[in-house]
């Protein structure tokens, strides 16, 4: 009889032998943050642009400028619909870039914004989006200091796309290289709310649920955590690909195993119910106002106390433990006492959610 350890060893070896995907055409899956995205980055962008800062494949690049250490990050937003319960493409673009800076241990300072607008797009909608961006930037304490605007033909841009770039000053050194066996993995609140909200807002499914996106700037709660628990190893916001994909990135980059207590993962009942009807796992659904933190086990309770004392961290929980074996894998301990491999996202069950 094959043991669980032998099964995991076979999976690990299969992963090592897996060839790079070389698709002839770009698909929606290439933008989902999962395996197809990783393959595209590694075989195309990283291969062409390779340099030490890019090779870390983090939420941003840490750059040395005279005596300052800066973080530079950039992101594109193509969410559909443009307006959804709890937010819109404007505040999503600002919050997402602010959060990428924050989880790199940086204090966000400045943003740029580039707009791709479709001919015929209502100017009232554009003003609404820009107002949301201004309000989100003010809430995060950042200035939008430069940008660009392009207009394409009718039917070529689905209304409005936005690309934002952010700069911040590093205050805390965080890196996946610091993750060690025995560490605890925390999540700052209930997961999957953004992705499910956007999916239902499209009106394509006959599902009703009282949901709003969790989009929010994380700089304050991150700063509070890092001040109280400077031993924090690393942070990552769980956007495309969801919590499961982030955990796989941690396991792969650190050469460790991550064991998830699935019963401890916070999911609101209405989100879980919608995911069940849609046939998707909440672990793979994007958040826009949640992050994962890896901290030493002895610091876990102190970190949770800090997170739960903040409005954005009321549902924070310890969801996983880092182990030394089997390296590179994420395992889920189910509520029924079984074990499953939680792999990186395959395909794109919820396209265009950010």
Going along the chain from its start, the domains and CATH numbers come out as 51-170 (3.30.1330.10), 176-341 (3.90.650.10)
pLDDT of 15 strictly over 70:
no
d(CA 21, CA 19): 6
pLDDT score of 19: 44
Give me the mean pLDDT over the 132-151 stretch.
98
SS3 of residue 6 by DSSP: helix
pLDDT score of 41: 86
Show the tokens assigned to 314.
Answer: 């009321």
Show the tokens assigned to 107.
Answer: 């204090």
Predicted confidence (pLDDT) per residue in 215-241, tens digit: 999 999 999 999 999 999 999 999 999
Instruction: Give the number of other CB atoms < 10 A from CB of residue 170.
Output: 19
pLDDT score of 96: 98
pLDDT score of 217: 97
Cα 24 to chain center, whole Å? 27
| Pairing between β-strand 330-333 and β-strand 234-237 as defined by DSSP bridges | unpaired
Percent of the chain with pLDDT over 90: 73
d(CA 131, CA 126): 8
Predicted confidence (pLDDT) per residue in 156-190, tens digit: 999 999 999 999 999 998 999 999 999 999 999 99
pLDDT score of 193: 97
SS3 of residue 8 by DSSP: helix
Query: How many residues appear in the chain?
Result: 354
**Beta carbons within 8 Å of 56's beta carbon, 6+ residues apart:** 62, 175
Q: Confidence band (pLDDT; 50, 70, 90) for 3?
A: low
Predicted confidence (pLDDT) per residue in 278-321, tens digit: 899 999 999 999 999 999 999 999 999 999 999 999 999 999 99
Predicted confidence (pLDDT) per residue in 81-113, tens digit: 999 999 999 999 999 999 999 999 999 999 999
pLDDT of 23 strictly over 80:
no
Show the tokens assigned to 87.
Answer: 């937010």
pLDDT of 326 strictly over 50:
yes
């Amino acid at each position: 009889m094959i043991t669980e350890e032998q099964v995991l060893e076979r999976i690990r070896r299969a992963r090592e032998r897996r060839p790079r995907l070389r698709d002839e055409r770009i698909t929606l899956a290439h933008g989902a943050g999962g395996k197809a995205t990783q393959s595209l980055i590694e075989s195309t962008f990283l291969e062409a642009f390779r340099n030490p800062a890019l090779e870390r494949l983090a939420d941003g690049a840490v750059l040395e400028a005279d005596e300052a250490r800066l973080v530079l990050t950039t992101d594109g937003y193509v969410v559909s619909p443009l307006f959804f319960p709890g937010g819109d493409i404007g505040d999503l673009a600002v919050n997402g870039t602010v959060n990428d800076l924050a989880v790199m241990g940086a204090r966000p300072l400045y943003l740029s914004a580039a707009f791709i607008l479709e001919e015929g797009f209502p100017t009232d909608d554009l003003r609404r989006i820009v107002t949301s961006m201004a309000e989100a930037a003010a809430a995060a304490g950042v200035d939008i200091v430069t940008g660009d605007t392009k207009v394409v033909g009718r039917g070529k841009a689905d209304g409005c796309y936005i690309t934002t770039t952010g700069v911040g000053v590093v205050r805390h050194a965080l890196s996946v290289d610091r993750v060690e066996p025995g560490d605890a993995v925390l999540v700052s609140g209930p997961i999957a709310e953004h992705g499910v909200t956007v999916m239902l807002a499209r009106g394509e499914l006959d599902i009703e649920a009282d949901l709003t996106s969790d989009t929010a700037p994380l700089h304050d709660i991150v700063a509070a955590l890092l001040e109280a628990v400077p031993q924090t190893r690393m942070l990552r916001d769980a956007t495309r690909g969801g919590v499961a994909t982030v955990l796989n990135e941690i396991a792969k980059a650190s050469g460790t195993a991550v064991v998830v207590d699935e019963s401890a993962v916070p999911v609101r009942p209405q989100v879980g119910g919608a995911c069940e009807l849609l046939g998707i796992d909440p672990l793979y659904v994007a958040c826009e106002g949640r992050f994962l933190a890896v901290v030493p086990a002895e610091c876990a309770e102190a970190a949770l106390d800090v997170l739960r004392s903040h409005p954005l961290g009321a549902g924070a929980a310890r969801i996983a433990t880092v182990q030394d074996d089997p390296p590179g894998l994420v395992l889920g301990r189910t509520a029924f006492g079984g074990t499953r491999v939680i792999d990186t996202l395959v395909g794109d069950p919820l396209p265009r959610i950010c």
